[in-house]
Amino acid sequence: MKNSYCFVVYGTYALFTDPLTKIGGEKSTYQIPTYQALKGIAESIYWKPTIIHYIDSIRVLHTIRMETKGVRPIEYSGGNTLANYTYLKEPRYMVQGHFEFNMNRPDLAADRNDGKHFSIFQRSLKAGGRRDIFLGTRECQGYVEPCTFDKEKGDYDQIDEVHFGTMVHGISYPDETGKDELSVRLWRPVMKNGIIHFLRPESCTLVRTISKMQAKHFELSSIQTADALLFELERGGTR
């Protein structure tokens, strides 16, 4: 199956929010991106309900640095609050991942064409993504480019191990798991020589159910097939 990809993502700032810091109304970033954040970036490059993105590993290229800034959060009820948000400064990562067909979507079986989806993903990656790229939050604009995973050296390549403690891995949705529930996953990442290998979602053992939820049903006639998308790109469509 032709489904693997690699890209570099970077920006001026990133905010992969640690939920424990939101209690007081302020935010502080994790030291590394979560699996869910990287999956969201891959989906911003190209996504359809026919496929599920899986993030295999990342290489941390730049030294982990943080910067605290005073911001004014939006308060719809009025007010003039000043909060301190702690961001990652100038992050840069190499991301290696792949996509698989969503077998919980038998209604979209006719759209399972790995070669077409792979070609569209690569074209979308070269164009910078089909949707805007964000590094955790909307105020942190990101940029993506195709790359080779071991081509660029990172600042942590010579460091044996770095442990980051317990952090959020991601969120499990019913259309991907086949279960009528929404749940959150936790894990304990370890970076070895600058590389973090992610667990697959089903391999996470620290899982908590948030609420009951049912998957949205899609009709194949209501979405654009991979063949139609590729035809549009070949005629000159860029995004």
Per-residue pLDDT of the chain (239 residues; tens, 9 = 90+): 579 999 999 999 999 999 988 877 789 999 999 999 999 999 999 999 899 999 999 999 999 999 999 888 777 777 778 889 999 999 999 999 999 999 988 888 888 998 999 999 999 999 999 999 999 999 999 999 999 988 889 999 999 999 999 999 999 998 888 888 999 999 999 999 999 999 999 999 999 999 988 877 666 665 666 666 666 766 665 44
Picking from 190, 191, 187, the residue whose alpha carbon sits closest to that of residue 166 is 187
Q: Say which CATH architecture domain 4-234 belongs to.
A: 2-Layer Sandwich (3.30)
Q: Residue 122: what pLDDT?
A: 94
Q: Residue 107: what pLDDT?
A: 81
Q: What are phi and psi of 86, to 5 degrees?
A: -105, 120
Q: Residue 1: what pLDDT?
A: 59
Q: How far from 139 is each of 50, 135, 136, CA to CA, in Å?
A: 30, 8, 9
Kind and range of the H or E element at 70? strand 66-71
Picking from 14, 239, 21, 4, the residue whose alpha carbon sits closest to that of residue 139 is 14
- Residue 237's Cβ-side half-sphere holds a number of Cα atoms within 13 Å equal to 12
Q: Residue 182: what pLDDT?
A: 92
**In contact, 173 and 202? CB cutoff 8 Å:** no
**In contact, 156 and 32? CB cutoff 8 Å:** no
